[in-house]
């Protein structure tokens, strides 16, 4: 796996980089060797934030983040989140294949592999609500106003400039974001 580590508003020491590579490297059990993993470490006041995005060759993008006072604790929490997500995804893929062969790429002789393969996790996706609505063309600003009026965290609309479906959303750190089709 190709791990890219970057720091925002802080200088990354070799110790931090080594710790991240060692911890994230343990996920190679689930990840194809050519997968790109982006790690961003940032600091604000007394909080250390670690964001990890796994961009696989095929399949969904997997992301986890955590913010702690101790950077190494944040790395551990993010690792645990990613491990859980990847294990769930792997089990879901195995359930879809009737022959139940492992989708693992390498390191088959690790003892950790036996523990994980013996765990039985069920993951059922249940859609609780289905909604349809008419999308009139509007600007991004108007979409944000509509989103605020209905008190949602996101709002899907037809962009008046591009005539494409877009989504505006509230960001955790304040402000808004826009998701558009490429």
Give this prediction's pTM. 0.55
**pLDDT tens digits, 47-74:** 889 999 988 877 778 888 999 999 999 9
At residue 156, the pLDDT reads 92
Taking 50 as the threshold, does the pLDDT of residue 118 lie above it? no
pLDDT of res. 116: 43
Residue 125 contacts residue 134 (beta carbons within 8 Å)? no
Whether 2 has a pLDDT exceeding 70, the answer reads: yes
pLDDT digits (tens, 9 = 90+) for 6-52: 998 888 889 999 999 999 888 887 888 888 899 999 988 888 899 99
In the predicted model, is pLDDT for residue 108 greater than 50?
A: no
CA 31, 36, 37 angle in degrees (round to 5)? 85
Which domains are present in the chain?
A: 2-118 (3.30.160.100), 137-180 (3.30.505.50)
Burial of 157 by CB count in 10 Å (0-12 exposed, 13-18 middle, 19+ buried)?
buried
Quick one: pLDDT at residue 158?
Answer: 92
């Amino acid at each position: 796996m190709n791990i890219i580590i970057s720091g925002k508003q802080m200088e990354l020491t070799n110790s931090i980089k080594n710790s991240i590579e060692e911890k994230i490297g343990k996920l190679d059990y689930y990840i194809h060797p050519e997968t790109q993993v982006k790690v961003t470490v940032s600091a604000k006041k007394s909080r250390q934030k670690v964001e990890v995005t796994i961009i696989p060759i095929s399949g969904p993008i997997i992301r986890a983040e955590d913010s702690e006072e101790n950077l190494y604790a944040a790395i551990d929490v993010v690792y645990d989140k990613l491990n859980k997500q990847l294990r769930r995804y792997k089990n879901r893929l195995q359930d879809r294949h009737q022959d139940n062969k492992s989708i693992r790429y390498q390191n088959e002789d690790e003892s950790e592999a036996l523990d994980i393969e013996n765990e039985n996790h069920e993951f059922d996706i249940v859609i609780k609500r289905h909604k349809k609505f008419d999308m009139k063309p509007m600007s991004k600003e108007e979409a944000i106003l509509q989103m605020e009026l209905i008190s949602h965290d996101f709002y899907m609309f037809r962009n008046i400039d591009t005539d494409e479906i877009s989504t505006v959303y509230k960001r955790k750190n304040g402000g808004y974001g826009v998701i558009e089709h490429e």
